[in-house]
Each structure stands twice: as structure tokens, then as C-alpha cells.
Amino acid sequence: MPENSSQLMTTLIHGLESTADLIAALSICDCSLQKDVGLKSLILSKLSSVSFSDYNKIASALSRLCRLNNYDSELTSSAVYFNWVIGDYKEASLLGIKSVVRHGINSFLLRNMVFLYLVSGEHDKLKWLFDQATLSNLEVSYWRGFLESIQQGAVASVRHPESNIEFRFALSCFSTQSMEAALHHWQGKFCEENELAILSRLCSYQNVLEIGCLVGNHTVYMMREGNARSITCVDIDRRSCTMTRLNTRLNLIPEEDVRIINAKAGRNSDNQKSQLDTFFLQAIESIEYGLIKIDIDGGELEFFHASLEYLKRKRPVVFAEVNGSNLPGVHNIFESMLYTHKVVDLRQSGEANILFLP
């Protein structure tokens, strides 16, 4: 690129609004980002607006930039994050190791590589990682403590600040999301506390349908703090179903009050459209739900299309995390049923938590 290519690229990226345009720009960028700290900072700031459906392309573009820029620590930190979230553990590890060997390690890269090796099960690499962090004068006792708790299969205690009710959660790291939940619980916190406060008011004495239960953080909270009548949990990942059942037992919730279904309620893990699980559709017909809570990483539009007749007949309250690209379609569905809506949380990535009221 010409001598002023860095300035041109800065101007180009600064004005971008869509992730598709950002990906296209990153794929042609061959500037030295180690020299142009301003451009590098701009690129990194744009990554906060990327939606999950674009993570694969962003991961590829960042991997390329890392190699062009001698595995710069800040670029590599982000590249490791996006690669391990999409499940490319080999690429994430390769990038991280090369960056650490050449430049040492920063706290963000340390966090992402700890998560990477815990989720991938490569615990043997953590000793090397902690040694490198110590050489870079980073404190590692916090992460050592978390690692020991995971390896021991510890149970974390989370106490509600107002009711003083103690909740108990088994720590597990079978996926990116379960790892993040485990870290919250290990710290004595709930995941997504703002959501829980809203849901606890909506679920009181209601039958609840929870699409995407992960490890049961919301399930347990709605049963114990929100006094839900019953909850039907649905998740495509059998491990999520197992952990949710374990956590309901740890919190002494009667098994007949929480029904857990291992079935498909949205997209496949490769984000390709697929028919909803027939068993799941038949199962939800047997109960009248007052509240539906859904968080399935972009599969919500397909779920709402498939469940449209049920929604029209029963008209439950719906609390949904909606992918940015699905917002128009989801809005049209609920508008056609004369629902009102309230945006509870709008993120830079375009994803939103929306409450739909009949």
C-alpha cells in the first residue's frame, strides 16, 4: 500500500458501521499496526460491536493481522478470544504461544488463554502459561485458585444480597459460556443479574419455558427467588441439561418442578438453519406458559416462526435475547400479534434483550 495507507485505512475504518464492511477492510489491511497505535486502537474498539454470528469471519481476519504484525500482544489477545469462542482451540493456542514467546503476556491475553486451556481441557499448558505470566510480573494466584476449583469439581456459594438466600452452583467448563458462568459463580456472583431482577418479577407463580438453560443460573434463580410455579428447560447441549439438573438438586428444588428437555429449539451449532426438534414442539404444547425466556445465539427467529401458533393462542410474556440481524423479523412477528415491547438492554454488537408484552 502507498506511504499514507495507514491514514487512508484509519479514515475508512472510522466511518464503517456494518460488521461486513469491517471484515472486508481488515482483510485488505496490510499496515504496520505496531507502528500505528492509533489505527490498532481503532480496530480493537470496533470489535466490541461484532455480533456472534460474525465471529468466524472476524477470527480469521484477526489471525491474518496477527501474523502480519509479528503477533502483537494486543491484536493477539483479541484474536485468541474470537478463535477460542468459535472453538478453534488449535489456532487460538498457536497465536497465543507465539505472542507470549516474542512479547511476553498481558492480563487480557492471560485471561483468554486460561479460558482457552480450561475449555479445551489442555490443563498441562497452564503451568507454562502461569510461569510466563510470572516472568511478565503478572499476579497469577487468582487464576490458580480458579483452576484448582474447576479441577476439584468445587461447588460455589452465591448469596442473594437482599433475601440472603444462599444458592449453590457446581463449577464446570465444558464450553465458553459455561466457563463464564463458572467464573461468576466462583466470584460469588450470579450471571446477568440485571436480567434476573426483571425475570424474578415476571415469573412469580407462572409456568416458565426457558429456551437455552446453560448451567441453570436463571432456572435456579427463577424457582427460588422468583417463586416460579414450574420451569421447562430446553437446551441442545446434553451437558447443559446435565449441569442444570445437578444445580437444581444442589438447591433442593423438587425434580417434578423443573422439566429438562435435551432438544433443538433453534439453529445447529454451525449456525445453519434446521428444522426444530419435533419432540420439543410436542412437549411444550402440554403446558400453558405465562413466561418464555429465550437465549439461543441467533436461533430465536426460527423458534418464533415455528412456535407462532402457540404464541397466538397462549399469548405468554416473552423475554428474548435477539441477534441484531434478527431484530426486524422478530419485531414483525410480535407486531403482527399486537404485542408491545420494551428494549431492556441494547449492546454495541446490535444484540438486544427485549421484553414482549401481550
Higher pLDDT, 30 or 178: 178
Q: Is residue 218 part of a domain?
A: yes
**Cα 38 to Cα 27: distance, rounded to the nearest angstrom:** 18
Q: Bin 146: left if φ > 0, else alpha if -120 < ψ < 50, else beta.
A: alpha
Q: Are residues 76 and 128 in the same domain?
A: yes
Q: Is residue 262 part of a domain?
A: yes
Q: Are residues 143 and 63 in the same domain?
A: yes
DSSP state of 174: S
> Into how many domains does the chain fold?
2
pLDDT at 274 exceeding the cut of 50: no
Q: Is residue 317 part of a domain?
A: yes
Q: Are residues 119 and 199 in the same domain?
A: no
Q: What are the φ/ψ torsions at residue 75 (nearest 5 degrees)? A: -60, -45
**Cα 55 to Cα 19: distance, rounded to the nearest angstrom:** 10
What per-residue confidence (pLDDT) applies to 30?
73
Q: Are residues 21 and 141 in the same domain?
A: yes
Q: In what order do the strands lie in the sheet with 340-346?
A: 258-262, 230-235, 207-211, 291-294, 317-322, 352-357, 340-346
Q: What is the CATH number of the domain that holds 277?
A: 3.40.50.150
Please count the other Cβ atoms lying within 10 Å of the Cβ belonging to residue 93: 19
Q: What are the φ/ψ torsions at residue 260 (nearest 5 degrees)? A: -120, 125
pLDDT at 272 exceeding the cut of 50: no
Residue 191's closest CA among 117, 243, 229, 258? 243
**Cα 71 to Cα 64: distance, rounded to the nearest angstrom:** 10
Q: Are residues 108 and 198 in the same domain?
A: no
Q: What range defines the domain where residue 349 resides? A: 192-357
Q: Is residue 186 part of a domain?
A: no
Q: Are residues 145 and 196 in the same domain?
A: no
pLDDT-wise least confident of 1-5, 184-188, 268-272 = 268-272
Residue 196's closest CA among 97, 293, 94, 333? 293
Q: Are residues 84 and 137 in the same domain?
A: yes
Q: Is residue 166 part of a domain?
A: no
Mean pLDDT score of the chain: 87
Q: Is residue 171 part of a domain?
A: no
What per-residue confidence (pLDDT) applies to 271?
43
Q: Are residues 62 and 202 in the same domain?
A: no
Q: What is the CATH number of the domain that holds 26?
A: 1.25.40
**Exposed, middle or buried, 4 (CB in 10 Å: 0-12/13-18/19+)?**
exposed
